[in-house]
Amino acid sequence: MLKDKITNRTARFGVVGLGYVGLPLAVEFAKKGLKTTGFEVDPSKVDQLAAGTSYIGDVPSSDVKPLVQEGLFTATTDFDELADMDVISICVPTPLSKTRDPDMSYVLKATKEVARRLGKGQLVILESTTYPGTTDELVCPELESSGLKVGEDFYLAFSPERVDPSNPTFGIKNTPKVVGGVDEESGELARQFYALAIDTVQKVSSAAAAEMSKLLENTFRSVNIGLVNEVAIMSQRLGLDVWEVIDAAASKPFGFMKFVPGPGLGGHCIPIDPFYLSWKLRTLNYRARFIELAGEVNSEMPNYVVDLVAGSLNEDRKSIRGSRILMLGVAYKSDVADTRESPAIDIMRLLEDRGAEVVFNDPFVPSFRSGDSVRNSVALTAEELGKADCVVVTCRHEGVDFAQVAEHARVIVDTRNAYPRNGDPYTGKARLVKL
Task: Report the catalytic residues.
Answer: 269
In order of 91, 175, 288, 370, the CA distances from 202 in angstroms are: 19, 11, 27, 42
User: In the chain, how many H helices and how many E strands?
Assistant: 16, 15
Q: Looking only at Cα atoms, what is the longest distance across the chain?
A: 76
Helix orientation angle between 289-299 and 207-238, rounded to the nearest 10 degrees: 50
DSSP annotation of 331 reads S
From the CB of residue 152, how many other CB atoms can be counted at a distance below 10 Å?
10
From the CB of residue 236, how many other CB atoms can be counted at a distance below 10 Å?
18
In order of 18, 63, 75, the CA distances from 53 in angstroms are: 13, 9, 12
Which residues have CB under 8 Å from 284's CB, separation 6+? none
Q: What is the CA radius of gyration of the chain?
A: 24
1: helix, strand or coil: coil
106: helix, strand or coil: helix
Q: Which of 413, 265, 417 is nearest to 333 (CA)?
A: 265
Strand partners, 96: 102
Backbone angles phi, psi at 38, to 5 degrees: -100, 135
Residue 371, phi-psi category: left (phi > 0), alpha (psi -120 to 50), beta (remainder): left
User: Cα(23)–Cα(14) distance, rounded to whole angstroms?
Assistant: 11
User: Cα(85)–Cα(31) distance, rounded to whole angstroms?
Assistant: 17
User: Cα(131)–Cα(395) distance, rounded to whole angstroms?
Assistant: 30
User: Cα(3)–Cα(77) distance, rounded to whole angstroms?
Assistant: 28
Which residues have CB under 8 Å from 358's CB, separation 6+? 324, 325, 326, 327, 348, 351, 352
Give the N- to C-terminal CA distance of the chain in Å, as an integer. Answer: 59
Residue 185, phi-psi category: left (phi > 0), alpha (psi -120 to 50), beta (remainder): alpha
User: Cα(343)–Cα(325) distance, rounded to whole angstroms?
Assistant: 16
